Structure 1
Amino acid sequence: MPFEIYPLLMFGVAVFILLMGYPVAFSLSGTAILFALFGVQMDVFDLSFFGAYPERIFGIMRNQTLIAIPLFIFMGVMLERSKISEELLETMGMLFGKIRGGLGISVCIVGALLAASTGIVGATVVTMGLISLPSMLRFNYSNSLASGIVAASGTLGQIIPPSIILIILGDVISSAHQQAQLAMGNFSPTSVSVGDLFVGALLPGLVLVGLYIFYIAIIAFLKPDAAPALPNEVLKSVTGYKLWVKVGKVLIPPLLLIMGVLGSILAGLATPTEAASVGCVGGIVLTAFKGQLNLKILREVMITTTHVNCMVFVILLGASMFSLVFRGFEGDVVVHHMLTSLPGGVASAFLVVMLIMFIMGFFLDFFEITFVVVPIVGPILLMMGLDPIWLGVMIAINLQTSFLTPPFGFALFYLRGVAPDSVSTMDIYKGVVPFIFLQLLMLIILWFWPSLATWLPGVVYGTG
């Protein structure tokens, strides 16, 4: 069997085992060990490669950037318990309810605020599905439009910082960037931080929210029955001065928290890890301010944080072993040859990688794709001249799009689990299709105007 087949076969077996539903970390590490032993028997693999694995483990333990993961998870889960989303949706609905499509626009804005506050996609989709979807249906919104708005707004937590996904992707992109520079002979490589990716994703995320709102406004204008204004009897419950006081009470606390977290990063006062600790304290204070903080809640938040954090880091350890064995089979060389030999150069290589990730996003979680695929293709694409910040933002939006795409998008499963029986699965599928095209439009915009992702990091950090 040709030597080039081994790494490709290893990758295929790992994906197959993942699709069978086995735990990610053990699927990756188990595949790595299986192929390592098989390679030794076939005299095509040297077990001495495993000597580097302990150093990889200690590298993960010493990585200060990854400390931000449990901190942001804690902040997000704590804010979820504070019931802030319910108040935001109710108040913003009254604020925009006078105009057609106003309730849908308010859901988008709240989705963006929750994304910038929690950064946990699944929790946001479920929360908004439980609260905002029944409200929109009660006020005669189209089933498909309401479903699409909730699913698309809930996934904004993937691209709008602070996002757990951006932290992980930023760390992987940073490592890939250093590998690419070393491979090109630069033995004093510059680093790309998670903060760079946070700042780089901010403007594209806000533009995406603007595209959502513009689409809802167009639909409300063309099809008034699909997105009506709220009835007067609902709007009259709180009006004038009282409404603005209520808006201030609901909006100011989360906005202060967002300013504390993102503002400290943008101002260069704190790293993402340090800002995450600010977010934790702010989340506790905000929950206490809402009267939701007690020992039971604190215990539940800490248990949930521990569970999610353990899952992420065990996957990281398994993926580290997988990538080590993959490189032992010279898989990086094989993939590099495949991508560089494509007609069309870097553009073709990038499009092929994005298409593969998009399809894999139907079946695999973001963590699996980030830990398995990005370390393999990232250094190669960066060696071909792509900007690391731009590449990271493009990957994040691409996978966000795949999570919305029927029939396997993860956000659709989350929403289907909490949607009323009156909303069919086909309603959800039809509703997300326009938002998928909007996200593809966002990718096209970034392709032609990469400065949308690189300009702000250049201003803040001098890296763009």
Structure 2
Amino acid sequence: MDMSIILVISMFVALVGLLLSGFPVAFTLGGTGLLFGLIGIATGTLDATFLEILPNRLFGNVIRNELLFAIPLFVAMGVMLEKSNVAEDLLENMGRLFGRLRGGLGISVTLVGALLAASTGIVGATVVTMALLSLPTMLRRGYDQSLATGSIAAAGTLGQIIPPSIVLILLADVISSAWQQAQLDAGNFSPSPMSAGELFAGALIPGLILVGFYIIYQVIIAVLKPSSSPAIPREEGEALDAAFYGRLFLALAPPMVLIVAVLGSILAGIATPTEAASVGAIGAIFLGAARLGGKTRLTVILSLAALVGLLVIAATMDLRMSRAVVPDADRMAYFGAALLTILFTIGLGWALLQTHRIGVLGEVMRSTVRISTMIYAILIGAALFSLVFRGLGGDDAIEGMLHGLPGGQWTAILLVMVLMFILGFFLDFIEITFVVVPVVAPALLAMDGTYGPIWLGVLIAMNLQTSFLTPPFGFALFYLRGVVPESVPTIAIYKGVIPFVIIQLLALLLIALEPELVTWLPSKLF
């Protein structure tokens, strides 16, 4: 056997073994890459000058990658919304709205999970928050333990597929590079890029379909087994009067406006994901400050009014003062815009100060730095690993293996999906995204008949989501087990998530057989 093939196989086996041992991922990736790079140089299999590419690769693909700037901003947005008790208000009011229906609490959990997924995108935080807030109420109302825990775990993993999510941002970066590599290998030296906005658009309809399937399942269970998901008795529920709908609007409107502002600006092509993420982070800060009430809420309202005024002026007036002749109306608009900018900046400073005083801002910043540092460290390690892997001929070996499988692209895709599904039991989505996807995606995208990078990216995202939910190793189950009462046995959690795993597999099969569900919206928007 060729020495390069031996090193490629040994490299991958060593990586998986070290990851399963619990050694830190970033050091495992970088250390494995460096070790086998040195072995390759010593045996003459790898040219030593190949490693000189690494600094340029890191500078171009990591440090100067504007898409990756969105990661700390989206993380800050999600953590701020988590700490500002948005989920608590949403669950309480949605529970009152749907609670009088059989299965209503489960439906509320699914809807709130979808809203949190679209506003936070952090799976672990969503699962834990939903479990702490909704599980005691569901169990107290007589919900079946399996149905309650299964609903919460499934709703929490929606953050994997509903945009904007960190998973989709990282996948967009990796899949885009793989797509360009596949086109270059095919002789297309002017490759068409794939943007994160296109992947967001492609994932939106499958994500909403999955939410619909969850709700349909809970309705069916409520009809067939009424005792498993009883309704809240009318005398115990609050009257659905004007005051209730007012509170529901106040709980629902702010996160919905934030979601529309962030996701809508990306899908409409108004802003890049990084720009939209900055809007989301600032919006989350305002939302967290507004919940303090009093003068702080009034300041937030005035700041947002100043922002709206700025947008109106920018859309209707010409603010360029360098022109030879500037009409008086434009000059007044210019000074008005400057004043509104000052007011908005003061309001943002006040919001930051107030959230700092209650201890929320510091916790949000620490969590953001911790999560972002972990992701960037893994990125650097993965860059070294993939560079050595390709230098040893690993990408050619993988491509040759996948192209040589009987059954063509479908067999190759099935094999890759099964591999990722199994790895998802043991590895986080970040490791899989940076270790497995760069290796297999170029080969899959180079095959005839593949429906493009957006379709493949959504398939991978939904596959990882399903893996995270599958017993006995799903990450979502570990998050849930850590916060549920001891009275709820682990086997009940496993029984509860199995129907939702089946639903996700059906949804995965549906988008595999009907690629238009993924590709239609991006083709219309982009």
Q: TM-score, normalised by structure 2?
A: 0.86
Q: Return the letter of the residue paired with 2:466.
A: T
Partner residue in 1 for 2:355: 294
Partner residue in 1 for 2:479: 414
Partner residue in 1 for 2:167: 165
Partner residue in 1 for 2:14: 13
Partner residue in 2 for 1:444: 509
Partner residue in 1 for 2:231: 229
Write out aligned runs for 1:356-375 (5 A).
356-375=419-438
Looking at structure 1, the residues matched to 503 and 166 of structure 2 have their Cα atoms a distance apart, in angstroms, of 23
1:426 and 2:487 matched: no
Q: Partner of 2:285: helix, strand, or coil? A: helix
Number of paired residues?
A: 460
Write out aligned runs for 1:61-460 (5 A).
61-235=63-237, 237-291=238-292, 293-295=354-356, 296-385=359-448, 386=450, 387-460=452-525
Partner residue in 1 for 2:2: 2
Following TM superposition, the consecutive aligned residue runs of length 4 or more in structure 1 with deviations greater than 6 angstroms are none
Looking at structure 2, the residues matched to 403 and 36 of structure 1 have their Cα atoms a distance apart, in angstroms, of 33
Looking at structure 1, the residues matched to 145 and 114 of structure 2 have their Cα atoms a distance apart, in angstroms, of 22
Q: Partner of 1:127: helix, strand, or coil? A: helix
Q: Return the letter of the residue paired with 1:112.
A: A
How many Å apart are 1:160 and its aligned residue?
0.4
Looking at structure 1, the residues matched to 149 and 513 of structure 2 have their Cα atoms a distance apart, in angstroms, of 31
How many Å apart are 1:239 and its aligned residue?
2.3
Looking at structure 1, the residues matched to 366 and 513 of structure 2 have their Cα atoms a distance apart, in angstroms, of 44
Looking at structure 1, the residues matched to 203 and 288 of structure 2 have their Cα atoms a distance apart, in angstroms, of 27
How many Å apart are 1:180 and its aligned residue?
0.5
Partner residue in 1 for 2:41: 40
How many Å apart are 1:2 and its aligned residue?
2.9
Looking at structure 1, the residues matched to 58 and 39 of structure 2 have their Cα atoms a distance apart, in angstroms, of 24
Looking at structure 2, the residues matched to 220 and 36 of structure 1 have their Cα atoms a distance apart, in angstroms, of 58
Q: Partner of 2:411: helix, strand, or coil? A: helix
Out of 296-305 and 345-354, give the one that drifted further: 296-305
Q: Return the letter of the residue paired with 1:328.
A: G
Looking at structure 1, the residues matched to 525 and 380 of structure 2 have their Cα atoms a distance apart, in angstroms, of 33
Cα contact 2:200–2:267 (8 A) shared by 1: no
Q: Partner of 2:188: helix, strand, or coil? A: coil
Q: Return the letter of the residue paired with 1:402.
A: S
Looking at structure 1, the residues matched to 355 and 439 of structure 2 have their Cα atoms a distance apart, in angstroms, of 45
How many Å apart are 1:196 and its aligned residue?
0.7
Partner residue in 2 for 1:22: 23
Looking at structure 1, the residues matched to 134 and 292 of structure 2 have their Cα atoms a distance apart, in angstroms, of 22
Q: Partner of 2:53: helix, strand, or coil? A: helix
Looking at structure 2, the residues matched to 239 and 458 of structure 1 have their Cα atoms a distance apart, in angstroms, of 42
How many Å apart are 1:7 and its aligned residue?
0.8
Looking at structure 2, the residues matched to 388 and 238 of structure 1 have their Cα atoms a distance apart, in angstroms, of 50
How many Å apart are 1:176 and its aligned residue?
0.4
How many Å apart are 1:418 and its aligned residue?
0.3
CA shift digits 1:164-221 (9 cap, x unpaired): 1100001000000010011011111110011111111001000000000000000000
Looking at structure 2, the residues matched to 161 and 8 of structure 1 have their Cα atoms a distance apart, in angstroms, of 35
Q: Return the letter of the residue paired with 1:413.
A: F
CA shift digits 1:131-167 (9 cap, x unpaired): 1111111111000000100000000001001101100
Q: Return the letter of the residue paired with 1:452.
A: L
Please, which runs of 5 or more residues in structure 2 have no aligned partner? 294-353
CA shift digits 1:8-61 (9 cap, x unpaired): 221111011000000001001111111112222322222211111001110111
1:54 and 2:115 matched: no
Q: Return the letter of the residue paired with 1:338.
A: M
Q: Partner of 2:469: helix, strand, or coil? A: coil
Q: TM-score, normalised by structure 1?
A: 0.98
Higher-Rg member (1/2) = 2
CA shift digits 1:98-143 (9 cap, x unpaired): 1100000000000000001111111000100111111111111000
Q: Return the letter of the residue paired with 2:355.
A: N
Q: Partner of 1:260: helix, strand, or coil? A: helix
Looking at structure 1, the residues matched to 18 and 202 of structure 2 have their Cα atoms a distance apart, in angstroms, of 35
Cα contact 2:8–2:392 (8 A) shared by 1: yes
Q: Partner of 1:403: helix, strand, or coil? A: helix
Looking at structure 1, the residues matched to 192 and 415 of structure 2 have their Cα atoms a distance apart, in angstroms, of 27
Q: Return the letter of the residue paired with 1:399.
A: L
Q: Partner of 2:222: helix, strand, or coil? A: helix
Looking at structure 2, the residues matched to 209 and 160 of structure 1 have their Cα atoms a distance apart, in angstroms, of 10
Q: Pairwise CA RMSD of aligned residues?
A: 1.0
